[in-house]
Amino acid sequence: MSNKRLKGLEAQERKSARKLMEAFKESRTKRPVSWLDRQLAQPSQVEQLNAANSHARIKWGNALWAEFVSHHELSETRRIPNVPLFWVTLLDIKCFTKCDATEIDLVAMAKFLRRGLRGLSYVGMFDPALYVDIDPRTNFADRRGVNWHLHLFVWGLSAAKMKVRCEKMNAKGPHVLTSIMPKGRGAHWMPVTPETLEIRFRYMVKWPQKEYRVGCRMTCKPGTHRRRKFKHNKADLRKGGYVTLFHLLKRVTLPELTVAGGEGSSLRGQALVKCTRRERPRSKNVGVLRRLGHVRQTCK
């Protein structure tokens, strides 16, 4: 286990970058892609840490991973923290935006979604899920939209207490989260194992790769009344979807997409310092001076 680079992240994001470039060329979406948009997605713009730049996600993801590994003292022989670690997903229909939204209030969304995590340590990122077709009989009125939801690593409590917290967020109360699916859950959790840690971390950092649909059909069993059955489907993101999400993501940075609390706040802060620190330029005369010093020592 590397403490500097997350295995598989670079290949994953370079593939997303190629697909985005293809979408720029071949997409039939009505929204134009300008020269500045194309430049924003280039590797040369990594330092901006723009959320629409896959290459920036490599840098930011590796920085977060390095701080996470260092904080929990992970190694090849210790692939999971000593404390219980959980993978948590939080979503709510209040965190939907239109596909062409010009303003995205991530601060308000984060404050709303993580109310049930007070007192815990966590670090995670927003993931925009593009819904291209939503049945009007769901909990959401519009036919299309983008759901900004959170994927987080949470620690600082036992599995039993984590279960209770999520049950409260899925039941009636001040912390309740409402899924787009009728009778669906807004809070999901599962324990993290040594086999899934790196996989989950890559998933948290990734450029969006899927688009979603919610359908409904009527079912009727012998001797029962007809009832609605909803189905949540997903498919690979199409070229138009790449362009739609690019125009949304270019408005925010990766640090703005990242949320943290408790011990996780220091991880986010240290990662930001690493990514924004500028190295002092190397003097052209350094090599010459070193060689002169070596020559003088040899002459003595």
Per-10-residue mean pLDDT for the chain, 300 residues long? 83 96 88 92 95 97 96 93 96 93 94 95 97 86 92 97 94 83 90 96 97 81 68 92 96 97 96 81 47 45
Place of tokens 């207490």: 161
Q: In angstroms, rounded to a whole number, what is the distance separating the alpha carbons of residues 134 and 192?
A: 32
For residue 224, CA distances in Å to 17, 218, 221, 227, 228 come to 51, 12, 5, 9, 12
For residue 146, CA distances in Å to 212, 214, 221, 223 come to 10, 13, 35, 40
Amino acid in the structure at residue 292: L
Where helices occur in the chain by DSSP H, the ranges are 9-26, 35-40, 54-72, 106-113, 159-170, 197-205, 239-249, 254-257, 264-276, 286-299
For residue 139, CA distances in Å to 103, 136, 182, 244 come to 23, 8, 6, 23
- Cβ(147)–Cβ(134) below 8 Å: no
CA dihedral 253, 257, 260, 264 (to 10 degrees): -60
Phi then psi dihedrals of residue 293, to 5 deg: -65, -40
Would you state the pLDDT for residue 184? 83
- Cβ(205)–Cβ(64) below 8 Å: yes
pTM for the model stands at 0.87
- Cβ(278)–Cβ(271) below 8 Å: no
Would you state the pLDDT for residue 280? 52
Would you state the pLDDT for residue 260? 97
Domain spans of the chain, in order of start: 9-280
